[in-house]
Amino acid sequence: MDFKLEIAQLLQEVTQLSKQEIVDAIEIPPNKEMGDFAYPCFRLAKQFRKAPPLIAQQLSEKIEKPNFVEEIKVQGAYLNFFVKKAFFAQEVLQEVLLKKENYGKSTVGEGKTIVIDYSSPNIAKPFHVGHLRSTVIGNALYHIFEKLGYVCQGVNHLGDWGTQFGKLIVAYKKWGSQQAVEESGIQELMRIYVKFHDEAEKAPELEEEARGWFVKMQNGEKEALSLWKWFYDISIKEFDRVYDMLGVHFDAYTGESFYNDKMDAVVEELKQKNLLKQSEGAMIVDLEEEKMPPCLIIRKDGGTLYATRDITAALYRKKTYDFHKCIYLTALDQNLHFAQWFAVIKKMGYDWWQDLIHVPFGLVSLDNGKLSTRHGNVVLMEELLHQAIEETRKIIEEKNPDLPNKEEVAKKVGIGAVIFNDLYNSRIKDVVFSWERMLNFDGETGPYVQYTHARACSILRKGQCSLPEQIDYANLTDEASMEVLKLLGQFPEKIQEAADKLEPFVVTRHLVNLSQAFNKFYHDNSILNSQEPIKQARIALVIAVKMVLAEGLAILGIQAPEQM
């Protein structure tokens, strides 16, 4: 039963508003004295030509109390609805226990595809903490949309093409060796790439040579391509290790190189549509009208650019997936890039340009150098994840040395902590890495939520509990139980809200609130030692909390160990 909808039904007849308008206006009051749902009458003042408190009063007299409502109270300009507690408990619990991991699933997205372009690291460069955010946020949004019934296509738009590979080939031929690359992988590629830049300052002709190699790549010459492919394979192998640790999967690894043979047609189309202009030997799309710098399409030397590939990729994706939305996750500093090429798509006459959405996020900063690594100032993802596991292992060793599967649990908790930390705030905020804070089992952290889930599991294990056949919901009307139920009941709308705002933190925070409420319930009430039928009702609540916490964590891309 959707309480908001029921209330809207009731108010619809007396306000002449649409159901949706009323549903959108209904609030969940911050404290219990104000009821379970509140309808503010401010917006009705114009229509009724009366003061909002008076409107509230008159509406309350006109509507008939439905059977699920205990009381309707007027407080100021608000109509406050107090739902019958046992009724509410039954509605929420039955729904969770019936649907299990499908609780919160919806069909709003049915038949619609969402393409999510995330992670997208650059070949031959390290997967650094900056890419972590794109990966983790993208993965969470993937699960959020999936839960709402959308078909998701996770695309890894690898940075695997461009002039930098010409430089890398020159660098490899001059200062590299097969053995060193095989031994140290991306580290070694990075070393020779940096060396190229140092050397090219003294010897600019190196740049010319690099361009030559890139031209060879573009022309499909064998040696150039096989070196490129080698760098590619080495990089993917390293990236996949990180994805494995994070539990992230992609539906397509269509990186920039995938569009090599598709860009000519797009450039031709831009020409046909009279959008290409010569400028200092390059080809641009002018964006003066849009008050932006021009979008560079073809370089002076004939090379294509990042934007050329993004435009081509968008056209390809529209054709291939016929997406409802195509979402791009990158740091905030790429705002202009996306705004520019979205504008090009609009100028090409495609009205779906409005379905392209750049979802930017803030930076990652490190807790005063504690994370500094041997590798200078790039912090490598893999190393960071290993460090998270290591730190967690220490805590487990101290708190629960007899835990079975310590290694497995340390992995789930350590990596979960990193993911949770990244998803805890609005995307645009910078993320700070502080092991102490992230791994605090009592803080607003991943381990705290996981620990709460494990606590629920442990209660059920100890009591050898199974799902009660009969539940007397009147036993769940105490304050602590009601708070848990309220949060359980809100889970589906929180997922929808996270999708609407493209903000996984809505789910993250909700899980913290649910954990806190559950721990208070656990503290206030005895469970296994209580009398029947109270005991069965409380066990049912514990089972529901366990399910929702596990599912919520899964949506965020975090595992939920049963013991920790």
Point out the residues that are catalytic: 125, 128, 131
x/- mask, ligand ARG, residues 404-443, rule CB under 6 A, reads ----------------------------------------
**Residue 122 interacting with ligand ARG (CB under 6 A):** yes
Do the strands 356-361 and 364-366 form a parallel or antiparallel pair, or are they unpaired? unpaired
**Residue 15 interacting with ligand ARG (CB under 6 A):** no
For residue 453, the minimal CB distance to ligand ARG (Å) is 34
For residue 330, the minimal CB distance to ligand ARG (Å) is 5
Q: Which is nearer to ligand ARG, 87 or 328 (CB)?
A: 328
Pick from 503, 119, 194: nearest CA to 377: 194
The region of 67-75, 119-127, 232-240, 449-457 touching ligand ARG under the rule CB under 6 A is 119-127
Q: Which is nearer to ligand ARG, 412 or 427 (CB)?
A: 427
Q: Which is nearer to ligand ARG, 91 or 117 (CB)?
A: 117
Nearest-angstrom CA–CA distance, 105 and 128:
34
Tokens at residue 44, please? 């009705």
Tokens at residue 56, please? 């509230």
The phi and psi torsions of 113 (rounded to 5 degrees) equal -105, 135
Nearest-angstrom CA–CA distance, 378 and 365:
11
For residue 325, the minimal CB distance to ligand ARG (Å) is 14
Return the residue of 117, 444, 503, 551 that touches ligand ARG, per CB under 6 A.
117
For residue 115, the minimal CB distance to ligand ARG (Å) is 10
x/- mask, ligand ARG, residues 315-344, rule CB under 6 A, reads -------------x-x--------------
**Residue 120 interacting with ligand ARG (CB under 6 A):** yes
- Does residue 134 contact residue 117 with C-beta atoms inside 8 Å? no
Nearest-angstrom CA–CA distance, 298 and 537:
68
Peptide bond into 533 cis (omega under 30): yes
# binding residues, ligand ARG (CB under 6 A): 9
Tokens at residue 124, please? 């031959």
Please give the order of strands across the beta sheet that includes 356-361. Answer: 151-155, 113-117, 325-331, 356-361
Q: Which is nearer to ligand ARG, 157 or 494 (CB)?
A: 157
Residues 287-316 that bind ligand ARG (CB under 6 A): 310
The phi and psi torsions of 365 (rounded to 5 degrees) equal -120, 155
**Residue 455 interacting with ligand ARG (CB under 6 A):** no
> Which residues are paired to 373 by β-bridges?
376
- Does residue 66 contact residue 8 with C-beta atoms inside 8 Å? no
The region of 74-82, 120-128, 273-281, 547-555 touching ligand ARG under the rule CB under 6 A is 120-128
Q: Which is nearer to ligand ARG, 157 or 411 (CB)?
A: 157
Pick from 127, 327, 133, 362: nearest CA to 235: 127
Nearest-angstrom CA–CA distance, 148 and 110:
8
Q: Is 233 exposed, middle or buried (0-12, 13-18, 19+ CB in 10 A)?
A: exposed
Nearest-angstrom CA–CA distance, 553 and 139:
12
For residue 131, the minimal CB distance to ligand ARG (Å) is 7
The region of 114-122, 173-181, 357-365, 442-450 touching ligand ARG under the rule CB under 6 A is 114-122
Q: Which is nearer to ligand ARG, 157 or 538 (CB)?
A: 157
Nearest-angstrom CA–CA distance, 115 and 113:
6
Q: Which residue has the tokens 């046992």?
A: 86
Q: Which is nearer to ligand ARG, 48 or 306 (CB)?
A: 306
Nearest-angstrom CA–CA distance, 419 and 415:
6
x/- mask, ligand ARG, residues 129-168, rule CB under 6 A, reads ----------------------------x-x---------
Nearest-angstrom CA–CA distance, 345 and 318:
12
Tokens at residue 240, please? 């996949």
Q: Which is nearer to ligand ARG, 299 or 393 (CB)?
A: 299
> Which residues are paired to 359 by β-bridges?
329
Q: Which is nearer to ligand ARG, 159 or 504 (CB)?
A: 159
x/- mask, ligand ARG, residues 469-498, rule CB under 6 A, reads ------------------------------
Nearest-angstrom CA–CA distance, 472 and 485:
15
Residues listed for the chain: 564
Cα angle, residue 123 at apex, residues 117 and 125 outer, rounded to 5°: 110
In the complex, residue closest to ligand ARG by CB: 159
Binding site for ligand ARG (CB under 6 A): 117, 120-122, 157, 159, 310, 328, 330
